Structure 1
């Protein structure tokens, strides 16, 4: 570091220009008389004594008499400790500024806009780590690898994970890494935004990497998340080819979406199947958690199921059940009506539906 630069840094650390000049000069000389130091450091003669007294009070130098006033640099340990402490504070301040700029505190707002994709990924990992019931995500294979450890932990906790992978070809997807990190996966051969939806209440969103506008959206709100949920189902999930399933049978034994349950089960129920359920959800009157166990006795939809083309080779889209979709369960003591996400007319809003027994004729 050049002398001028060192002098400037010492000024930034709290020394006056004259104090910095005198101290740097004294470091080079070791010791000097006040008058010699004034000449060599370009500090005016009338000011040199005040400058030396101030440097001595700060612990930078010590003065002594030898025919005239002399000064020598003090052991620098104290000075170095002070400078390093200041440097650490500046570094901490820089890190804090960077964090505040890139990641506003989510708790201050239900919807936050962030500028860095790394912030979106970190938030997605945190949300998935706190998931209790379900995760829906649309990601590239590279983004999936970054989230995979959090997804594996979620699967181990019993969370249901729907994974939509978007890449140019299926051969870019390693099914060995998909297994154990999701309950179902589909492949979308088109660019897609990054979407992670957790437990019907939290969403991370970012435009796809080729988008002109680069930003991220962090949502901690059920109403906004509901919009992302339907975008995921209709654009990123339902119309794309299945890639992987953890279920041994065509029909899963557990659902987090009542409309998928209605789509899969209603034909069998209409043909006389006896189905028992356990439904974990929220009481729509009290807002408290509620579990319902009993026999399925009715399924209601806005569109008559018979109107759906039974000849089609693939199951109907869940969008065909976007209206009313509800079931009734006989607990033995009463019949409870159960609706899907946002239910208001039913007794319970279902969060997870588990088929506990199934007997078809």
Structure 2
């Protein structure tokens, strides 16, 4: 990456061109006088003091008092971490403000399902789901569409993929340790497309469009934990259970701890390794809704179209029956499942 690209990216974080140039110069030459910064960077002498003062206020530069006064660049890792924290906090605040704005205008919460118009917009949403997922992505789609997600899938080595498609052979880019791959059954309805990320986002659409109809294509975008919980259930009971697993994950090579949000994903992974397995479960007691964190070993699991659960034995030998979100037969409603070994 050249300096022009770095300056362009720094400007996206609120620095001016001169401020970006001054910070880069200081990183190269170290603590310096304003005159040296001017000489090295080409920033006009009449502007350099204002630029350095602004960088100091923004946390990019420390001022070392003395004669002459020196300007020192703040460690880039510290600067970027601060920007990251501020950006995340700003996003959280904006989300709340947007929700309040929508409620005040419409008298209700944001809709749980949105209609997405256009094939390219649908593809962008599918890519976003893969980029933003923290734990797992479930995909059921024709290989024609799956190939369009190739680059995003290859970048994510830190999450679990469960992918169902109608491929003939397993391509190299899907032959990865963190991917469970299944070949879909013959029924046409099995090729409706679902792309689901954690319990956060879901995208659904039917048949792929012909080229001439791409601008008229539409899909459905969901962001509701209750809805997505049902989508995940359908993904497994309608699609995966009617498909043939042709490539399991390579459990021993996957980095631990491994965090998952869906009980059926957890059991699908456990089926491809041996028990017992050390696990931590974060969830709520079904009876009281009290938050609970349990550690122990998975000693068994149950998986049917109607129920999915594991049995966790804690260090005291007590056995807990744990299900997923919406559980009512089990002892614990699991929200996060963390495999430790």
Report the TM-score range of the alignment, normalised by the length of the smaller protein.
0.5 to 0.7
Deviates more, 1:331-340 or 1:200-209: 331-340
- Cα displacement string for residues 277-316 of structure 1 (whole angstroms, at most 9, x for unaligned residues): 213433356786x65322346x575xxxxxxxxxxxxxxx
- Alpha-carbon distance, 1:163 to partner: 0.6
CA contact (8 A) 1:326 1:340 kept: no
Question: Do residues 325 (structure 1) and 309 (structure 2) align?
Answer: yes
CA contact (8 A) 2:143 2:165 kept: yes
- SS of the aligned residue for 1:232 comes to helix
Residues in 2 aligned to 1:351 and 1:218: alpha-carbon distance in whole angstroms: 23
Provide closer, same or farther for how the CA distance between residues 118 and 331 of structure 1 changes in structure 2, counting only shifts above 3 A.
Answer: farther
Provide closer, same or farther for how the CA distance between residues 282 and 149 of structure 1 changes in structure 2, counting only shifts above 3 A.
Answer: farther
1:330-345 alignment runs, 5 A limit? 330-332=314-316, 336-344=320-328, 345=330
1:192-203 alignment runs, 5 A limit? 192-203=191-202
Report what 1:237 is aligned to. 240
- Alpha-carbon distance, 1:223 to partner: 1.5
* Equivalent residue in structure 2 for 1:219, among 203, 219, 222: 222
- SS of the aligned residue for 2:125 comes to helix
Provide closer, same or farther for how the CA distance between residues 208 and 109 of structure 1 changes in structure 2, counting only shifts above 3 A.
Answer: same
Residues in 1 aligned to 2:296 and 2:280: alpha-carbon distance in whole angstroms: 9
- SS of the aligned residue for 1:148 comes to helix
Report what 2:161 is aligned to. 161
Question: Do residues 258 (structure 1) and 271 (structure 2) align?
Answer: no
- SS of the aligned residue for 1:277 comes to strand
Residues in 1 aligned to 2:264 and 2:185: alpha-carbon distance in whole angstroms: 26
- Alpha-carbon distance, 1:187 to partner: 1.3
Report what 2:278 is aligned to. 277
CA contact (8 A) 2:185 2:242 kept: no
* Equivalent residue in structure 1 for 2:332, among 321, 335, 347: 347
- Alpha-carbon distance, 1:265 to partner: 6.7
Residues in 1 aligned to 2:110 and 2:298: alpha-carbon distance in whole angstroms: 43
Q: TM-score, structure 2 length as denominator?
A: 0.52
- Cα displacement string for residues 60-110 of structure 1 (whole angstroms, at most 9, x for unaligned residues): xxxxxxxxxxxxxxxxxxxxxxxxxxxxxxxxxxxxxxxxxxxxxxx9432
Q: How many residues align?
A: 218
- SS of the aligned residue for 1:349 comes to strand
Provide closer, same or farther for how the CA distance between residues 335 and 236 of structure 1 changes in structure 2, counting only shifts above 3 A.
Answer: closer
Residues in 2 aligned to 1:260 and 1:292: alpha-carbon distance in whole angstroms: 19
- SS of the aligned residue for 2:208 comes to coil
- Alpha-carbon distance, 1:195 to partner: 0.9
- Alpha-carbon distance, 1:220 to partner: 0.3
* Equivalent residue in structure 1 for 2:171, among 170, 175, 178: 175
CA contact (8 A) 2:294 2:314 kept: no
Residues in 1 aligned to 2:301 and 2:141: alpha-carbon distance in whole angstroms: 34
- Alpha-carbon distance, 1:199 to partner: 0.3
Residues in 2 aligned to 1:258 and 1:286: alpha-carbon distance in whole angstroms: 18
CA contact (8 A) 2:139 2:162 kept: yes
CA contact (8 A) 1:139 1:193 kept: yes
Report what 1:146 is aligned to. 148
- SS of the aligned residue for 1:238 comes to helix
CA contact (8 A) 2:325 2:333 kept: no
Structure 2 residue runs without a partner (length 5+) = 1-108
- Alpha-carbon distance, 1:111 to partner: 0.9
Provide closer, same or farther for how the CA distance between residues 153 and 286 of structure 1 changes in structure 2, counting only shifts above 3 A.
Answer: farther
Residues in 1 aligned to 2:133 and 2:194: alpha-carbon distance in whole angstroms: 15
